[in-house]
Amino acid sequence: MTDRVSADLFRHAQQRFPGGVNSPVRAFRAVGGTPVFVDRAAGAHLWGADGRRYVDYVGSWGPMILGHAHPGVVQAVQQAMTRGASYGAPTAIETELADLVAELVPSMQMMRFTSSGTEAVMGALRVARGFTGRDLVVKFEGCYHGGADYLLVKAGSGLATFGVPTSAGVPAAIASTCLVLPYNDRAALEALFAARGPEIAAVILEPVVGNMGTVPPHPEFLGALRSLTAAHGALLVFDEVMTGFRLARGGAQERFGITPDLTTLGKIAGGGLPLGIYGGRADVLAKVAPLGPVYQAGTLSGNPLAVAAGLATLRVLRDDPTFYARLEASSSAVETVLREAARASGRAVQVQRTGSMLTPFFTDRVVNCWEDAATCDTAAFGRWHAGMLAEGVMWPPAQFEAGFVSIAHDDDTLEATAKAAARAFAAV
């Protein structure tokens, strides 16, 4: 079905924005077709500009764990707006949110608010370098940590290489401060620390990857990360912008029982409004200005609207004792209908899920790292995506992105998803 309203809007947008969008994946180039322009959202649904309703598994790329336009969040933002949109001054509500974050994520003894996950990661790695006096950062291929120059790199062959920029405009000298390893490769990690441990300021990773699709960690991999960083005086940084408050009240670190030195948060932490947080050990955060020499600032950091939305969201997660059990049950049901539809079609598809994050990988192998993910039939995924969209289900428009289930997904949305998946897989 052609959405002519979105097509017209997209043509107009391309005159003003590169590719017609303000974030590349929204352009649908990984799946083909025209992006759906969204008019509104409520609960587990989006409405396109043409008025058509979709079951939404994008969830604004993760923040909408309560569903769209949750009444408590809407009310909190409306009330905050009546007192003013921004002050550039401290507020009591910032500390309320920080207290709640620390209650749910005890490793975050001290923190700093920012306006995005990218800024939170930049702040975390800057303070890690300032605290350790070292320059090198280690990341893993397939993990995305925002748009900082030195993190836009990928791995070469072998155990590790100096970073090679994957975006034009990134100087090689800056990219060279980042080393890249295969995800879930404990041997490569051990070899790198044996060779260069004294130079490494921090290791950063998505504890469950969402940016090459849903890829869980091997249990021994996270344990090795914690022991190796501690032994070599490097800091372990969990990028929980996506997994924070989604996989458990305390995020992936609670789920897997691993305590990082620093954590970055976003998405759910701001209730869907622009807010990021970095924090962790108090002795490390004491290096941040004005206490210490590591400078980081932002005019809209701690914006009262975003803080109000985040506080309202996290209070629901804290106060509802059945929340995560219900979310797990709904997510498991979605996994089952996707798996069964793929099996009935005869397609080689790996449906991988951790908590309420899940991905159907169009490959015949279990995906443990980017090398596995790269075997996916992305053209087949594009056809499947178009089929789901035609049946009224919005899935992330890229093979290498996680889908998200919210607490608003119910039996009716599951039934619609099952019907759509059966037809979409059969037509691939």
To the question of domain 71-319 being in CATH 3.40.640.10, the answer is yes
Residue 327 has a pLDDT of: 98
Residue 175 has a pLDDT of: 83
- Average pLDDT in the 78-84 region? 98
CATH topology of domain 323-351+360-403: Aspartate Aminotransferase, domain 1 (3.90.1150)
Judged against a pLDDT cut of 50, whether residue 195 lies above it is answered with: yes
- Average pLDDT in the 306-313 region? 98
- Separation of alpha carbons 80 and 284, rounded Å: 32
Same fold, 71-319 and 323-351+360-403: no
CA distances, 326 to each of 61, 214, 322, 348 (Å): 20, 20, 6, 29
Residue 150 has a pLDDT of: 78
pTM for this model (two decimals): 0.95
On whether the CB atoms of residues 167 and 146 are closer than 8 A, the answer is: no
- Separation of alpha carbons 22 and 32, rounded Å: 17
- Average pLDDT in the 189-200 region? 97
Residue 152 has a pLDDT of: 78
Q: Is 22 exposed, middle or buried (0-12, 13-18, 19+ CB in 10 A)?
A: exposed
> Between the CA atoms of 193, 161, 242 and 299, what dihedral angle is there, to the nearest 10 degrees?
100
Phi, psi for 183 (deg, rounded to 5):
-65, 145
Residue 46 has a pLDDT of: 98
Judged against a pLDDT cut of 70, whether residue 160 lies above it is answered with: no
Judged against a pLDDT cut of 50, whether residue 161 lies above it is answered with: no
Judged against a pLDDT cut of 80, whether residue 157 lies above it is answered with: no
On whether the CB atoms of residues 239 and 205 are closer than 8 A, the answer is: yes
- Separation of alpha carbons 224 and 233, rounded Å: 14
Burial profile 64-83: b = 16 or more Cβ within 10 angstroms, e = fewer: bbbbbebeebeebbeebeee
Q: What is the mean pLDDT of the chain?
A: 94
Domain ranges for the chain: 1-40, 71-319, 323-351+360-403
* Segment (H or E) for 119: helix 117-132
- Separation of alpha carbons 273 and 311, rounded Å: 11
DSSP state of 14: T
Q: How confident is the model at residue 165 (pLDDT cuts 50, 70, 90)?
A: low
- 209-252 residue pLDDT tens: 999 999 999 989 999 999 999 999 999 999 999 999 999 999 99
Residue 51 has a pLDDT of: 96
For the chain, what is the total number of helices (H) and then of strands (E)?
14, 17
- Average pLDDT in the 182-203 region? 97
- 93-106 residue pLDDT tens: 999 999 999 999 99
Residues forming the active site: 144, 239, 267
Judged against a pLDDT cut of 80, whether residue 154 lies above it is answered with: no
CB pairs under 8 A, 24+ apart, for 287-293?
Answer: 287/127, 287/130, 287/131, 288/112, 288/123, 288/127, 292/130, 293/130
- Average pLDDT in the 43-69 region? 98
- Average pLDDT in the 115-119 region? 96
Q: How confident is the model at residue 149 (pLDDT cuts 50, 70, 90)?
A: confident
- Average pLDDT in the 2-9 region? 89
Residue 2 has a pLDDT of: 57
Q: How confident is the model at residue 147 (pLDDT cuts 50, 70, 90)?
A: confident
- Separation of alpha carbons 172 and 3, rounded Å: 43
Q: Which SS3 state, helix, strand or coil, does residue 369 take?
A: coil
